[in-house]
Amino acid sequence: MNPTREPDLGTPASISEESVEVEIDGLPARVKAGSTILRAARESGVDIPKLCATDSLKPFGSCRLCLVEIDGRSGYPASCTTPVEPGMKIHTQTEALARLRRNVMELYISDHPLDCLTCSANGDCELQDVAGAVGLREVRYGFDGENHLDADIDTSNPYFSFDPSKCIVCSRCVRACDEVQGTFALTIEGRGFASKVSASASESFIDSECVSCGACIQACPTATLMEKSIIDNGQPEHSVLTTCAYCGVGCSFRADMKGDQVVRMTPWKDGGANHGHSCVKGRFAFGYATHPDRILEPMLRENIHDPWRTVSWEEAIQYTAQRFAGIQEKHGRKAIGGITSSRCSIEEVYVVQKLVRAAFGNNNVDTCARVCHSPTGYGLKQTLGTSAGTQPFGSVQDADVMLLIGANPTDGHPVFASQMKRAMRNGAKLIVMDPRKIDLVRSPHFEAAYHLPLLPGTNVPMINALAQVAIKERLIDEEYVRERCDVESFDAWKEQILRPENSPEMVAEISGVPADDIRGAAKLYASANNAAIYYGLGVSEHSQGSTMVMGMANLAMATGNLGRSGVGISPLRGQNNVQGSCDMGSFPHELPGYRPVQDDEVRGKFESLWGVKIDAEPGYRIPNMFDAAIAGDFKGMYIQGEDVAQSDPDTQHVEEALSGLECLVVQDLFLNETAKFAHVFLPGTTFLEKNGTFINAERRINRVRPVMKPRQGMDEWRITQELSRAMGYPMDYEDEAEVMDEIAVLTPTFAGVSFKLLDEAGSIQWPCNEKAPLGTPIMHVGSFVRGKGLFIETDYVPTKERTSRKFPLLLTTGRTLTQYNVGAQTRRTPNTVWYKEDLLEIHPHDAETRGINDGERVSLTSRKGDITLEAKITARVQPGVVYTTFHDPETGANVVTTEYSDWATSCPEYKVTAVQVAPAIHRSHWQEGFEKRTKEQEKLLETS
């Protein structure tokens, strides 16, 4: 077996805590009760041959290779389906068994190409291994009869191929697609000799329901399903354990390497978040790391209309430091600031916020979480005491009811979606609160108990109505509230919730959801033994985002659904390190660990270790930076790994702000939209070059390890460190572990964290300190972090963004499975096969009244601007609501989004924009300008 393969123990581990004594091949063995004989034997070091079994799937018992003999039992039971019993005497190697196994293998091999030496799976093929293990030396039946050797290979998927001639119909792929991924894209079609694996209704993989998660390839014991990267490059030689750089699920992967080339990303079985599963992005879309568009040398220019000049690191850093110092001299200490990135490691983020506080001398640091989950931090801190989700993902398996709000996990957080589907298969009920009919609402194999398709902007009244039903139906957990919560605040909240405007009938009028459905969903959630809330940006990116987060916390507290497995409130974070970038003091009012910068004692601790005075006044948030830049008070920005010109709302406002800067420094992989306004470009590194940690949505600190040296020659934290030194505040970290050690000293929730501990434990969920040396999977067990849980009243204040005769539709935005955020990475991979450009989903009724046909270009106009894009007519959206993604810079979806934002955190209201849609007559003014700027920048790069 290839050395990069993890051991396969045949069948899943038993969950029993008991053990039993058995005898295997004459030797005593103590094994877990409930184990299969196959697993027990493998755990005891005895390899029983197997083909249809694998430890990620339920036993199936079809191949008849794992047969054993058991004293006192007749016949040859399959060890993969027979559980151990106390005192059992098992024989795995007898002459009879050897003969039987050889016969079975002979049949398999008689219909299998004998091209082992030239097969891409050579050295990593279970069929080959088992043939050797059972001592197969000849095939008596010959190859002349009917066989499958000439079956056509399906190469339609960009990442893997399917060669049916090598298939042994073990059904592992079909079961992986059902049990692990939950897509049910594969079946075994036909019977007996004619049986074969079929994708959907005998379609090619690319046309089938397959979502390219890779689970079937992982499960396949032959070369039938095979990564094209392995076919092209050969088998890997070694692996490096690391973490996916895409979404907040934070899947652990083994980067399988050949020399310094990644040939495969294999999800790690022991990954705390993903348990050996993956999605198309983490599994396959890593090619952007070596894409020719990457900028690998620092560049600068005096003016944004000048050609770029390639310079040395030394010159780029000195130039930046001088420009920033000059700005501060002329415009004051607060005229510059920085933005950290949730795609960077926590060590990189920590060093950037330290640069701003210690070298810039102000608190003008913010992060991209400002525009996604800042209301989560605020709302959960106010009510529960910690700015983070409460549960590990695995907790969903203990949930009886899942309330999913404003999130689309099958696209945004696919590995967690698979875990939700498993919970549903085991009986959990799902309530979806979302304006769109997302896949989890109904698919051929799943159906939500309730879909509440509320109008964008009506989350708060909806959560209030759910709470009112819970109160009126006497489904409040009075004892829990009395013991664990602030009763006075509960009474005030109850009074507010019982007001007539929060009744299902009143809320039905403003949300568009029938009162009976609101009532039914509320009763289902509130009466469950374990009810868990999962939510996404459809909660936070609203003018009342923080109110909604507090509304969910109120409901969970009132119904006793916090502080144990199967319950809780879990934000599904967009980017891999959103939690980490927030934890690391990226907000202008908080030092690492969410501690107020105004607090003298907190500041004192940092000042004494850093040896510098820290400004006590909170700095600018991102929107304040833009406003100040337009006003002429803010002149310099250091932006690490964020493309604000594409991702932030009201693009024309952002562009005006960026144009007003005297020195914009962009540290990133590619010349992105923001770089069009930059004076200095400092090339960054991909996750494959980083050493450090990411923190996922479960507060899980995962190691990310480099598989190659930084391609542009410098670690990102070193770039920041050098800039700090050049600005007169030397930082002297030797390596990333030292940065983590400083974080641990200064941040109570990280007090016990070190690279050494992470390397030993695999991953740790913070808080990790003296009280919890191995971390804290579930928060608020026994009591809330803030002491008593605080209920906060959640009055509904409608957004100022209203529909009108001119703008009668509501636009809401989201993301699609194969693309990620602004698309900078995924658009540079074969994932584009599934995605051409951002589309506008519009309901058939709205399309018809506007004379719009499917696939036609339409103009999308709001009070802020207009763009054109292709229409997709679909009943996934309700009448009156349109939807698009923001992956494509050319579309410019954020040209139309507004300046409205969450009252507490300034998180933009991306999810509600009043718009009009009409057949497009010409390209939009902004898009024409975009094309012109893009061409100009390309020319400036060429002439550099």
Residues lying near ligand SF4 in the complex (CB under 6 A) = 167-173, 176-177, 181, 183, 185-186, 197, 210-216, 219-222, 224-225, 244, 246-247, 249-251, 274, 278-279, 281-282, 413-415
- What is the SS3 assignment for 65-111? CCECEECCCCCCCECCCCECCCCCEEECCCHHHHHHHHHHHHHHHCC
Sole window of 63-71, 399-407, 512-520, 840-848 interacting with ligand FES (rule: CB under 6 A): 63-71
Residue located via tokens 């809320």: 507
Residue 65 is a binding residue for ligand FES (CB under 6 A):
yes
For the bound state, the minimum distance from the C-beta of residue 842 to ligand SF4, rounded and expressed in Å, comes to 28
By CB under 6 A, name the one of 9, 24, 46, 63 that touches ligand FES.
63
Residue 552 is a binding residue for ligand FES (CB under 6 A):
no
Q: Which two tokens stand for residue 920?
A: 């497009």
For the bound state, the minimum distance from the C-beta of residue 149 to ligand SF4, rounded and expressed in Å, comes to 14
For the bound state, the minimum distance from the C-beta of residue 47 to ligand FES, rounded and expressed in Å, comes to 12
Sole window of 47-55, 524-532, 709-717, 743-751 interacting with ligand FES (rule: CB under 6 A): 47-55
Question: What are the φ/ψ torsions at residue 661 (nearest 5 degrees)?
Answer: -80, 145
For the bound state, the minimum distance from the C-beta of residue 690 to ligand SF4, rounded and expressed in Å, comes to 15
Q: Which does 246 bind (CB under 5 to 8 A by kind): ligand FES, ligand SF4, none?
A: ligand SF4
CA 260 – CA 250 distance, rounded (Å): 23
By CB under 6 A, name the one of 53, 255, 344, 415 that touches ligand FES.
53
By CB under 6 A, name the one of 24, 31, 46, 66 that touches ligand FES.
66
Residue whose CB is less far from ligand FES, 68 or 466: 68
Bridge partners (DSSP) listed for residue 839: 870
Q: Which does 916 bind (CB under 5 to 8 A by kind): ligand SF4, ligand FES, none?
A: none
Q: Which does 871 bind (CB under 5 to 8 A by kind): ligand SF4, ligand FES, none?
A: none
Tell me whether residue 113 is exposed, middle or buried, using C-beta atoms within 10 angstroms of its C-beta: 0 to 12, 13 to 18, 19 or more. middle
Q: How far is CA 632 from CA 366, 653, 659, 676, 713, in A?
A: 19, 14, 11, 20, 36
By CB under 6 A, name the one of 39, 42, 50, 334 that touches ligand FES.
50
List, as own/partner pairs, every contact residues 801-807 make where C-beta atoms lie below 8 angstroms and the sequence separation is at least 24, other chains included: 801/457, 801/543, 801/898, 801/900, 801/909, 801/912, 801/913, 801/914, 802/914, 803/880, 803/914, 804/914, 806/916, 807/861, 807/862, 807/863, 807/914, 807/915, 807/916
682: helix, coil or strand? strand
Tell me 176's DSSP state: I
Q: Which does 219 bind (CB under 5 to 8 A by kind): ligand SF4, ligand FES, none?
A: ligand SF4
From the CA atom positions of the chain, what is the Rg in Å? 29
Is 801 within 8 Å of 791 (Cβ atoms)? no
For the bound state, the minimum distance from the C-beta of residue 127 to ligand SF4, rounded and expressed in Å, comes to 8
Residue 680 is a binding residue for ligand FES (CB under 6 A):
no
Residue 78 is a binding residue for ligand FES (CB under 6 A):
yes
For the bound state, the minimum distance from the C-beta of residue 51 to ligand FES, rounded and expressed in Å, comes to 5
Residue located via tokens 């389906």: 81
Residue whose CB is less far from ligand SF4, 222 or 813: 222
By CB under 6 A, name the one of 22, 40, 41, 80 that touches ligand FES.
80
CA 443 – CA 434 distance, rounded (Å): 16
CA 449 – CA 783 distance, rounded (Å): 32
Residue whose CB is less far from ligand SF4, 169 or 351: 169
CA 447 – CA 110 distance, rounded (Å): 44
For the bound state, the minimum distance from the C-beta of residue 267 to ligand SF4, rounded and expressed in Å, comes to 7
Question: What are the φ/ψ torsions at residue 305 (nearest 5 degrees)?
Answer: -100, 0
* Sheet containing strand 252-258, strands side by side: 238-243, 252-258, 261-267
SS3 content of the chain, % helix, strand, coil (to 5): 35, 20, 45
Sole window of 49-57, 349-357, 789-797, 798-806 interacting with ligand FES (rule: CB under 6 A): 49-57
Residue whose CB is less far from ligand FES, 100 or 498: 100
Residue whose CB is less far from ligand FES, 22 or 524: 22
Q: Which does 62 bind (CB under 5 to 8 A by kind): ligand SF4, ligand FES, none?
A: ligand FES
Q: Write the DSSP assignment of 793-849 as a string of letters.
A: -------S----SSS-EEEEEE--TT--TTSTTGGGSGGGGG-SS-EEEE-HHHHHH
Residue whose CB is less far from ligand FES, 53 or 119: 53
Is 405 within 8 Å of 459 (Cβ atoms)? yes
Is 878 within 8 Å of 863 (Cβ atoms)? no
Residue whose CB is less far from ligand FES, 94 or 310: 94
Q: Which does 51 bind (CB under 5 to 8 A by kind): ligand FES, ligand SF4, none?
A: ligand FES
Residue 64 is a binding residue for ligand FES (CB under 6 A):
yes
Residue whose CB is less far from ligand FES, 10 or 752: 10
Amino acid letter for position 288: Y
Residue whose CB is less far from ligand SF4, 409 or 566: 409
Bridge partners (DSSP) listed for residue 257: 238, 262
Residue located via tokens 């809401």: 812
Amino acid letter for position 510: I
Residue whose CB is less far from ligand SF4, 274 or 937: 274
Q: Which does 65 bind (CB under 5 to 8 A by kind): ligand FES, ligand SF4, none?
A: ligand FES
By CB under 6 A, name the one of 4, 14, 62, 576 that touches ligand FES.
62
Q: Which does 225 bind (CB under 5 to 8 A by kind): ligand SF4, ligand FES, none?
A: ligand SF4
Sole window of 57-65, 236-244, 539-547, 757-765 interacting with ligand FES (rule: CB under 6 A): 57-65
Tell me 154's DSSP state: B
Residue whose CB is less far from ligand SF4, 173 or 882: 173
Binding mask 322-351 for ligand FES (x = CB under 6 A): ------------------------------
Q: Which does 64 bind (CB under 5 to 8 A by kind): ligand SF4, ligand FES, none?
A: ligand FES
Q: Which does 78 bind (CB under 5 to 8 A by kind): ligand FES, ligand SF4, none?
A: ligand FES
CA 818 – CA 577 distance, rounded (Å): 19
Sole window of 56-64, 462-470, 650-658, 818-826 interacting with ligand FES (rule: CB under 6 A): 56-64
Is 378 within 8 Å of 546 (Cβ atoms)? yes
Residue whose CB is less far from ligand FES, 64 or 523: 64
For the bound state, the minimum distance from the C-beta of residue 1 to ligand SF4, rounded and expressed in Å, comes to 16
Q: How far is CA 879 from the centre of its chain?
A: 30
Tell me whether residue 75 is exposed, middle or buried, using C-beta atoms within 10 angstroms of its C-beta: 0 to 12, 13 to 18, 19 or more. exposed
Tell me 851's DSSP state: T
CA 344 – CA 314 distance, rounded (Å): 22
Residue 751 is a binding residue for ligand FES (CB under 6 A):
no
Residue located via tokens 């199967």: 566
Residue 682 is a binding residue for ligand FES (CB under 6 A):
no
Tell me 46's DSSP state: -
Residue 52 is a binding residue for ligand FES (CB under 6 A):
yes
Q: Which does 177 bind (CB under 5 to 8 A by kind): ligand SF4, ligand FES, none?
A: ligand SF4
Q: Which does 926 bind (CB under 5 to 8 A by kind): ligand FES, ligand SF4, none?
A: none
Nearest to 372 by CA among 574, 544, 189, 568: 574
For the bound state, the minimum distance from the C-beta of residue 55 to ligand FES, rounded and expressed in Å, comes to 11
Question: What are the φ/ψ torsions at residue 722 (nearest 5 degrees)?
Answer: -65, -40
Residue 109 is a binding residue for ligand FES (CB under 6 A):
no
Contacting residues toward ligand FES, per CB under 6 A: 50-53, 61-66, 78, 80
